[in-house]
Amino acid sequence: MNDEPPAPAAATASGSALTVLRRLLPTVWHYRGRVLLGLALVVGTKLALVGLPLVLKELIDALDLKPTPLTVPVALLMTYGALRLASSVLQELRNVVFARVMARSSREVALRVFEHLHALSLRFHLDRRTGAVGRDLERGMGSISELLDTVLYMVVPTLVELALIVAILVAGYDLSFAAITLVTLALYMAFTYRMTEWRLRWYREMNEANTEASAGSVDSLLNYETVKYFNNEAFETERFDRRLRNLEDSAVRSLKAASLLGIGQSALIAAGLTALLWRATDGVVAGRMSLGDLVLVNAYLLQMAAPLSYLGVVYREGKQMLANLERMFALLDEPVEVRDRPGAPALRIGAGEVRFENVSFRYGEREILSGIDLTIPSGRTVAVVGSTGAGKSTLARLLYRHYDPDGGRVLVDGQDLREVTADSLRRRIGVVPQDTVLFNESLYYNIAYGRPDASREEVLEAARAARIHDFIQSLPQGYDTGVGERGLKLSGGEKQRIAIARTLLKRPAILIFDEATSALDAHTEDQIQRELGQAARGRTALVIAHRLSTVVDADQIVVLEGGRIAERGSHAELLAAGGRYAALWAMQQRRADAAAARNAETPASPVRADADAAPESVPPPAPALTD
């Protein structure tokens, strides 16, 4: 987790190179030895490049004396060759030395952002788009290494090289050379700044369009089955194409602006170089300069043209890198809603009692829970039922500390969850969700995810306890079988058994079943329900349910309505009370009886009748509660 206070949003949004470099400096400073060595190699490279025209001038002036083979300046030739080789070797050595700094800095910052994203609350992740976040992280990673390489080893050395060339021209020739150079440089920088600032809005627009297209394609592919169910391939293609057209238009505008910038920069450089060459030629004709001087000035002109052109590219690309880093640092600046207090101790689990004391919670302007008082005794199971939006799942999220309550306290064994570390709390709680999403890895990986350091025998024992081991063993690849994207190769019942297995492997003291069987058929639900009951034996369990038939054996049933507790008691007590629970039970039973009658009137299909038919003793599924 990033413990540094987030930088002000305005500073990040400004795209200031100083701000970004200040945030990168602590990471780069760990490798200051390599950085300084790299700078020394770059300075050596520039000195060699600046020395080349000086040696070339002396060589030409020496050859202008009609040399014989005995008077050929061998030393000058060797010096020229050595400087040319040194400039290339030193440049490559700089690349070798600094490669680790760029790669490691990019890795460390990206890791901080990735860790920070996992530290953010559920509230952030419910609003985010995975494809867009991934794209911002990817572009930011690439921009870090490029920016470091550009600023440390391109901009500063290039400015040093230009300064050396101007100093040599001033010292050896008249001031007109320096004046032309400085005026050209000033006009070039002013033009580049104005044009780049104008172009930047098109680049940002292109980034936005790129992110939208990427997020949309990921979202569509993740929901492949839904697209197929509604025959909406053409709709998705048209929707993606609309985003690509926006990207195309933005990219074309950005490239046109870049071309105009390049043309203007080339025109300014050409004008400045022509003026300098004119002054040098005039000096040779007037006898003030030798032929070697003309070659020297021309060589420096060509040598300056490349850095001037490059500085324009650096500024343009640098602004683009900063635009990419803005978005990545904006992720890093997202506030962590649930944060451990300084010096918070680890949770000490004793009996495992859970207590909600006058708990209230709001999501934005909407009140979800109000005045909830609820105790789950150690080793007992408490079920929470109610209509959609009553706040059932919010209780589970508060217990797992996805959120902190706005009022009241949530306690485990008398310890306020805000006073202990979230990591120690979450290690002691196991969750079996309604929609089990698996990693696109093997069955073994997905079960072992409950406790990655568990032995293979422990993983297999958890699979046996969840009654999934025999099924896995029957597969050709066994535990090495891949489950596909989000586990789509498995049925709902198989995925739920995987979820139970990895939760059991975690060895939690407290269990949360959040609508764990609501999406299953009656036969599978009955089997999974028995396995959930076995898993909860001896543990404190909170069960969130729509179907009342799944919670009749709970030690206590709590009925939530409008974020408040309307009733509580055992199944028999609530039926006897004749209140909201009894009315919901009667309604569900009527619907179940009607569904059973309809099924009885429909002849069973001869195809796989034995495999699909549920045993007579298993009641049909009760319908879910309605709002």
What's the length of the chain?
627
**In the prediction, which pLDDT does 72 show?**
52
Q: How would residue 522 be classed by pLDDT, with cut points 50, 70 and 90?
A: low
Q: Where are the domains of the chain?
A: 9-332, 354-428+508-612, 436-496
Residues whose CB is less than 8 angstroms from the CB of residue 273 and which lie 6 or more positions away in sequence, other chains included: 301, 302, 304, 305
Q: Which of 48-57, 354-363, 506-515, 532-541 has the highest mean pLDDT?
A: 354-363
Q: CB burial class (10 A; 0-12, 13-18, 19+) of residue 100?
A: exposed
Residues whose CB is less than 8 angstroms from the CB of residue 393 and which lie 6 or more positions away in sequence, other chains included: 514, 515, 544
Q: What pTM value is reported for the model?
A: 0.60
Highest CATH level, class, for 9-332: mainly alpha
Q: What is the torsional sign of CA 273, 279, 280, 282? A: positive
b/e 320-344 (16+ beta carbons within 10 angstroms → b): bbbbbbbbbbbbbbbeeebebeeee
Q: How would residue 612 be classed by pLDDT, with cut points 50, 70 and 90?
A: very low
Q: How would residue 185 be classed by pLDDT, with cut points 50, 70 and 90?
A: confident
**In the prediction, which pLDDT does 13 show?**
37
Q: What is the mean pLDDT of the chain?
A: 78
Which residues sit opposite 410 in a β-bridge? Answer: 356
Q: Is the pLDDT of residue 502 over 50?
A: yes
The tens digit of pLDDT for each residue in 419-446 reads: 999 889 988 998 888 778 888 889 999 9
* Least-confidence region, from 10-14, 47-51, 243-247: 10-14
The percent of residues in the chain predicted with pLDDT above 70, rounded, is 83
Q: Are 261 and 236 in contact (CB under 8 A)?
A: no
* Least-confidence region, from 295-299, 318-322, 493-497: 318-322
d(CA 609, CA 20): 66
Topology given in CATH for the domain delimited by 354-428+508-612: Rossmann fold (3.40.50)
